[in-house]
Amino acid sequence: MKIKIGTRGSKLALWQAYHVQDLLKEKGVDSEIIVIETKGDKVLNVSLSKIGSKGVFTEEIEDQLQSGDIDIAVHSAKDMQSKLPKGFEIIAFGKREKVHDILLSHKKIDLNSETLVLGTSSTRRLAFLKESYPAVKTVPIRGNLQTRIQKMKDGQCDALWLAYAGAHRMGYDDMIVHEFDPSEYIPAVGQGSIAIEVFETIAPEKKRVVREAINHEPSEKCLLAERAFLRKMDGGCSIPVFGRAVIKEEVLEITGGIISLDGSKKIIKTCSSTLNAVEKAGEIIGTNVLKAGGDKILEEIKSQNEE
């Protein structure tokens, strides 16, 4: 048996693909890595919210899953749209890294400085910044992590606002100058985990072997809850929706919410559940956020994105 692994070509995406390959190898399964360029990799001069949030980093890879050119796709879970196209399924989530956000820089940073310029293209991070540090300026910076770091060193910004997981996996821990509290600056749904996507035509034996080798059950429970919340919110890359689930003593607690683009309005809800009802918990907080006024914030954001 040989598993064909599809992935994007950035160093971080390849790290994830090689990690999956190593886990398969531990189970005695041979595999091959196939690099696929996506729309999100090609269009770097436009923000994700303007490109369109659905399938920006997955569409071309899903085409190859459907054609059978690859057996599985390795994604960052936070890049996965909340509703997959017909016939597609996530069959495993890798063990989750720490989920919090960080600032990466080659110099000392003061978040209260009125001259500070941060690089980020995330609507969630931009909204949090406007809420907490309105004086800080931002510039949109996209591309793989190495490209963004070079842009920062070239003077486009003073620091990059990123997920800890990617910076850590690429060995940039020594450049972390600030760590955000994930209970206050709640991360994107799925942040810190790898998702394995397949198409319905995959051989059952391959599907079974991949799930056994890759899936980390506690991470899966958290991700299923968060993704159920995201589906309820109908959120994508262009919507500043955030969600984080944790498991403590066989109880899952999920916190999720939405913040307006200008940071002036924020709604957060929390729900606890047993481990056999995690998706229901995600749906409940999604419903509660929408009922508390999240629906109006969502409408405002979508109308602003269309302008």
- Is the domain covering 1-94+193-215 a CATH 3.40.50.920 domain? no
291 contact partners, CB below 8 Å, separation of at least 6: none
Catalytic residues, by residue number, are 79
What pLDDT does 41 receive?
58
Mean pLDDT of the chain: 92
Query: For 175, how many CA atoms within 13 A lie in the half-sphere containing its CB?
Result: 24
Beta strands in 36-140 (DSSP E): 72-76, 88-93, 101-104, 117-119, 137-139
Pairing, β 241-248 against β 30-35? unpaired
- Give the pTM: 0.91
Tens-place pLDDT, residues 205-234: 999 999 999 999 999 999 999 999 999 998
Average pLDDT over residues 71-77: 96
Judged against a pLDDT cut of 80, whether residue 165 lies above it is answered with: yes
What pLDDT does 302 receive?
82
Tell me the domain boundaries of the chain.
1-94+193-215, 101-179, 216-307
Q: How confident is the model at residue 59 (pLDDT cuts 50, 70, 90)?
A: confident
Tens-place pLDDT, residues 234-245: 866 678 999 999
What backbone phi and psi angles, to 5 degrees, belong to 21?
A: -60, -40
Average pLDDT over residues 108-137: 94
Q: Which CATH class is domain 101-179?
A: alpha beta
- Tell me whether the CATH fold assigned to 101-179 matches the one assigned to 216-307: no
Superfamily of domain 216-307: Porphobilinogen deaminase, C-terminal domain (3.30.160.40)
